[in-house]
Amino acid sequence: TPFSMDAIHISEWFDYICDHYFAEFSFDRSQIEVQWSHNMVWYSGKTEYPTASSATIMMNKKLLEMLPLEETVETYIHEAIHAILHVTKREYNGDPDHGDAFMREARRIQAINPHLDHLHIATPDYMEQVNTIKKYHWKCSDKCARTNIPELAGYVDAGGWVSRARNKAPGKGEPRWNDHVKLCG
């Protein structure tokens, strides 16, 4: 993925997504507004439709920062499908969920980039998202399994558990791994 959370502005991501996945659709990009939301709670992304020819994509900054970058990319493309179908009205009947038109676009984009394998999933609520996405678990067998080490909060959960969306075990090369080595052993 060419994306980096900090380096690229959200509107540049949108240009990238349009160029790579929606080149065949004709619409004016100013019809779609994109913004980070700092106060969304329940969804990772959300699209609103202020008029028949405009859409606003909102991305949940706080939640997406906790999740792997791929989740931001997939959420963004998911919301872009909603927004672009709305402004181009291509076989779109205003159905807010994920009907035929939506699924057709999701499959088309997955054929271009097979890594995008969660596009069809409705952005679920916060806890559901965190719980279903974090499906890989590791357990430290040392000190942090027995005692809560406050300095490791956000890296190691209670009981020494680390849960992640991707199958990437905690280890060297992570900024907080050295903290773990120092504090836990």
Return residues touching Zn ion (CB under 5 A): 122, 140, 142, 144, 184
Q: Structure tokens of 145?
A: 């399994």
C-beta of 52 vs 122, nearer to Zn ion: 122
Shortest distance, CB of residue 7 to Zn ion, whole angstroms?
A: 27
C-beta of 9 vs 142, nearer to Zn ion: 142
Shortest distance, CB of residue 71 to Zn ion, whole angstroms?
A: 14
Alpha carbons within 13 A on the beta-carbon side of 59: 27
Query: Residue written as tokens 């859409």?
Result: 55
Shortest distance, CB of residue 123 to Zn ion, whole angstroms?
A: 6
C-beta of 9 vs 174, nearer to Zn ion: 174
CA distance 50 to 35: 14
C-beta of 40 vs 144, nearer to Zn ion: 144
CA distance 150 to 137: 20
Query: Residue written as tokens 């913004």?
Result: 35
Shortest distance, CB of residue 56 to Zn ion, whole angstroms?
A: 14
C-beta of 122 vs 169, nearer to Zn ion: 122
Picking from 58, 62, 54, the residue whose alpha carbon sits closest to that of residue 29 is 54
Shortest distance, CB of residue 142 to Zn ion, whole angstroms?
A: 4
Picking from 127, 128, 139, 77, the residue whose alpha carbon sits closest to that of residue 106 is 77
CA distance 62 to 54: 25
